[in-house]
Chains A and B, each alone.
Chain A
């Protein structure tokens, strides 16, 4: 299921600071809501997000129920060499999803 949206510039100059935008489709159920019958809806959130640039971790985030549904996270990095960004989301109920994007650096 292609549930990730990634925005990474295709090309960058060496040393340029680039913005990376990521969006993962996920309900992010807080675990604090309850149905009209009074039952608590169990928590189901993404707890961790990692971005690796050519295998090296460049960004990591711990997420909590206070992150809105379909977590949208943007951050910056320096384009050092051509290669690949790998993104990984993990969460409750053994949720795990990956995505990748490549960049060419001149």
Chain B
């Protein structure tokens, strides 16, 4: 039910954006459109490029079930030594169904000692989170986690 409503709105927005040239475009871009798995893939490609992303090394800690999507604690750690010639360059976090596929990019270096970051994120829906780590040899490693959200964030009305 909900799914079909979203689809029709997206189709409508797509048509409106395609038909109207100027005036409608800003409205279209700020509407709470969901990111899609395709947008997630595109956002990842922007960071990763054509390099293969292997599963492993990265540990993504998020609660499997959260009541409130407005603050979800998240920890990403990478099991890799942090030495001057073998270290984690950056950690990128993506989501599947927020309005934007990006969550955050975190840039580390060999001086970090431990490749681990924590923050609190927003989740607009129950969805998949992906964390990607870039190592100093430009290889990419990833981990995913599924989170069930009972109260969504990001797009609710302001009272």
Which residues of A come within 8 Å of B, CB atoms?
17-18, 30-36, 40-41, 53, 58-69, 71-78, 80
Contacts and interface: CB of A to CB of B under 8 A. Distances in A.
B91 to A, nearest CB: 9
Contacts of A32: 30, 32, 99, 154-155
Contact of B112 (A30, A64, A67, A75): A75
B108 interface: yes
A32 B70 CA distance: 13
Given A61-B104, A66-B102, A36 B157 contact: yes
A41 B30 CA distance: 10
Contacts of A69: 70-71
Given A66-B104, A77-B112, 7 more contacts: A33-B155, A35-B157, A59-B107, A62-B102, A76-B112, A76-B114, A78-B112
B106 interface: yes
A18 B116 CA distance: 11
Contact of B111 (A62, A72, A74, A77): A77
B110 to A, nearest CB: 9
B158 A17 contact: no
Interface in B82-115: 95, 98-100, 102-109, 111-115
A32 B105 CA distance: 20
A12 B122 CA distance: 34
Contacts of B120: 67-68, 71-72
A60 B107 contact: yes
Contacts of B123: 66
Nearest to A73: B119
A42 B100 CA distance: 15
B139 interface: no
A37 to B, nearest CB: 10
20 contacts: A30-B99, A32-B155, A33-B155, A58-B112, A64-B103, A66-B100, A66-B122, A67-B104, A68-B70, A68-B72, A68-B122, A71-B120, A73-B117, A73-B118, A75-B108, A75-B116, A76-B112, A76-B115, A78-B113, A80-B111
